[in-house]
Structure 1
Amino acid sequence: MGRLGLTEILVIVGIVILLFGGKKIPELMKGLGSGIKEFKNAAKDDQPAPAKKQEEEQK
């Protein structure tokens, strides 16, 4: 229990298409992708200074 099968995934995708329409979905995915990219960049920038220095020395 707790795993999504192919049928459940198709139903969810169908509902999303009905709610947002085919033209809006690429815009939503683009926004999601850029948000994830910004989050990863911010997480990299928040590393302590000594850790960054060690990484640069190893390269």
Structure 2
Amino acid sequence: MPGTTEMMVILLIAVLLFGANKIPKLARSTGEAMGEFQKGREEVEQELEEMRDGGAAEGADASTVDAAESSEKATETET
């Protein structure tokens, strides 16, 4: 984490590069971008969690269906 002196130098460079008028706009757009990034990350995490939780339940259903199909095929071959 930068100290006070480093932050002052960074602020001075930002003022020289962008001008004093554009710094609030730049800070606002940076904050909005960070918020959108966080929202997107949370959505992806939620989807992954749903896939993980739902995948276990769907996997159990799929194995039940596979077992039923296997027993039907076995019955057909016996007759």
Q: Normalising TM by the smaller chain, what interval?
A: 0.5 to 0.7
Q: State the structure with more CA Rg.
A: 2
The CA distance in 1 between the partners of 2:2 and 2:35, in whole Å, is 26
Runs of 4+ in structure 1 over 4 Å off: none
Question: Could you tell me which residue of structure 2 aligns to residue 57 of structure 1?
Answer: none
The CA distance in 2 between the partners of 1:40 and 1:4, in whole Å, is 24
Residue identity opposite 1:26 in structure 2: P
Question: Could you tell me which residue of structure 2 aligns to residue 30 of structure 1?
Answer: 28
The normalised TM-score by structure 2 is 0.52
Residue identity opposite 2:3 in structure 1: G
Structure richer in helix, relative to its length: 2
Higher relative contact order (CA 8 A, sep 6+): 1
The normalised TM-score by structure 1 is 0.67
Deviation per CA, 1:6-56: give whole Å up to 9, x if none.
222211111111110111111111111111111111111112214xxxxxx
Question: Could you tell me which residue of structure 2 aligns to residue 45 of structure 1?
Answer: 43
Output the aligned Cα RMSD.
1.5
The CA distance in 2 between the partners of 1:10 and 1:29, in whole Å, is 16
Q: Where does the alignment leave 5 or more consecutive residues of structure 1 unmatched? A: 51-59
